[in-house]
Amino acid sequence: MESFVGLPLNELDTPVLCIDMPLVEINIARMASFFAERPAALRPHTKTHKSPVLAHRQLAAGAIGVTCAKLGEAEAMAQAGIQDILIANQIVGPRKIARLVNLAQYTQVMVAVDDPGNVEELGLAAQRKGVALRVLVEVDIGMGRCGVPPDQPAVDLGARVATTPGLRLEGVMGYEGHAVMIPDYEERTRRAEAAVARLISTKEGFEAAGLPVPIVSSGGTGTYAITGDYAGVTEVQAGSYITMDTQYRDKVGMDFHLALFVLAQVISTPRPGVAIIDAGVKTLTRDFGLPVVAAPEGWELTRLSEEHGFLEQRGGDPLHRGDRVKIWPNHGCTTINLHDHYVAVREGSVEAVWPIAGRGKVR
Ligand SMILES: Cc1ncc(COP(=O)(O)O)c(C=O)c1O
């Protein structure tokens, strides 16, 4: 794929995942400028782009570190020289814990905990390795996923971490995932603030108990401006904003550019008003809705099978075999995870091809 560099977009073989670099740069700068003026900092989630190159761009723009969903993703970032990594997830089982403490030997990795048994296992492994493993207590602030209940149960677990040799208590994390996609801004604000209030009251409980709590981490793209402005939050984990997707744009109305697209090709025009492209669910995902045709105008993507996309004409000009179609993914994170490389595009031609190093790193 490296031979793509320098080619005009319309000469690329299809289907191919592309990022529009000027738009990515605007998105990075827009988010960075929000945090530049506030006490809270940005720790972007790499679960979206899964690319160390893009993570380095975010760090250069002011991010304090990265957030990862999985240990394998964190290893991919560490291998590319990224130092400050939060794994916003539980790391369970001897094999994974061994990998985690090895990673802690050469990066400032942090991990979330919500269970005393896990705390003990992490502490023993960290001691054996001779590292001080950084730990955040994960608090369930209303999403109902992982995390201990707010306040006393979280404080108790924090005390356990603080007294476990091998571990270094760094604070608390939550994630108001139940609020990030609420379309109505006032309702989203109300729900997000109610969630973050639980995290802040837990932080105050830590302070009252004399426990260190330098980090209070939460937030996503849909709530960055709410959570990032909430007193006491020290960092926000937004990820999707960098490439955006039509789910966030159309449902939540987020003000970032759609910088991610798949370039596909018409392979058949079986009936008037219908065109079939060479991109199905092995190229594009539909977990929250169908992708959207960005160009040409007048065509709607109505169905995806494995390797085919069905386009129906609503207006505009007819499509012909071999024509290029630009598609905006509905969900960037899962679409990116289907691809090995990004084709980075500027002014209609390929500037770079970057491996998506964290792609498929689910272990
Ligand atoms: C722990 C955690 N933090 C932050 C996010 C934010 O992601 P996004 O920016 O895509 O809303 C997610 C999304 O799944 C998450 O699971």
Cβ count near 185 (within 10 Å): 13
Q: Contact 110/135 with Cβ under 8 angstroms?
A: yes
| Per-residue tokens: 184 | 């109505």
Residue 352: beta bridge partners?
A: 344
Best mutation site among 48, 110, 180, 334 for ligand 1 pocket (most ligand atoms within 8 Å of CB): 180
Q: Confirm or reject: Cβ of 180 under 6 Å from ligand 1.
A: yes
Residue 253 pLDDT level (bands cut at 50, 70, 90): confident
Give me the half-sphere count of Cα atoms (radius 13 Å) on the Cβ side of residue 84: 14
Q: Confirm or reject: Cβ of 248 under 6 Å from ligand 1.
A: no
pLDDT at 258: 98
Q: How high is the mean pLDDT of the chain?
A: 97
Q: How far is the CA of 176 from the centre of ligand 1 (A)?
A: 9
Q: How far is the CA of 247 from the centre of ligand 1 (A)?
A: 14
- Distance of CA 229 to CAs 67, 182, 218, 224, Å? 19, 18, 12, 8
Q: Confirm or reject: Cβ of 97 under 6 Å from ligand 1.
A: no
| Per-residue tokens: 63 | 């991010």
**DSSP string covering 127-187:** HHHT--EEEEEEB--SS-SSSBPTTHHHHHHHHHHHTSTTEEEEEEE---TTTTT-SSHHH
Best mutation site among 48, 89, 237 for ligand 1 pocket (most ligand atoms within 8 Å of CB): 237
Q: Give CA 213 to chain center in angstroms.
A: 24
Question: What pLDDT digit, counting tens, does each position of 107-153 carry?
Answer: 999 999 999 999 999 999 999 999 999 999 999 999 999 999 999 99
- Distance of CA 210 to CAs 130, 137, 167, 170, 198, Å? 26, 15, 17, 13, 19
Residue with CA nearest ligand 1 atom 6: 220
Residue 39 pLDDT level (bands cut at 50, 70, 90): very high
Q: Confirm or reject: Cβ of 223 under 6 Å from ligand 1.
A: no
Q: Confirm or reject: Cβ of 175 under 6 Å from ligand 1.
A: yes
Residue with CA nearest ligand 1 atom 5: 220
Distant-in-sequence, close-in-space partners of 5: CB < 8 Å, separation ≥ 6: 350, 351, 352, 353
Q: How far is the CA of 310 from the centre of ligand 1 (A)?
A: 31
C-alpha 10/C-alpha 265 separation (Å) is 10
Residue 3 pLDDT level (bands cut at 50, 70, 90): confident
Q: Confirm or reject: Cβ of 211 under 6 Å from ligand 1.
A: no
Phi, psi of 215 (to 5 degrees): -115, 130
Is this structure's pTM higher than 0.95? yes
Residue 323 pLDDT level (bands cut at 50, 70, 90): very high
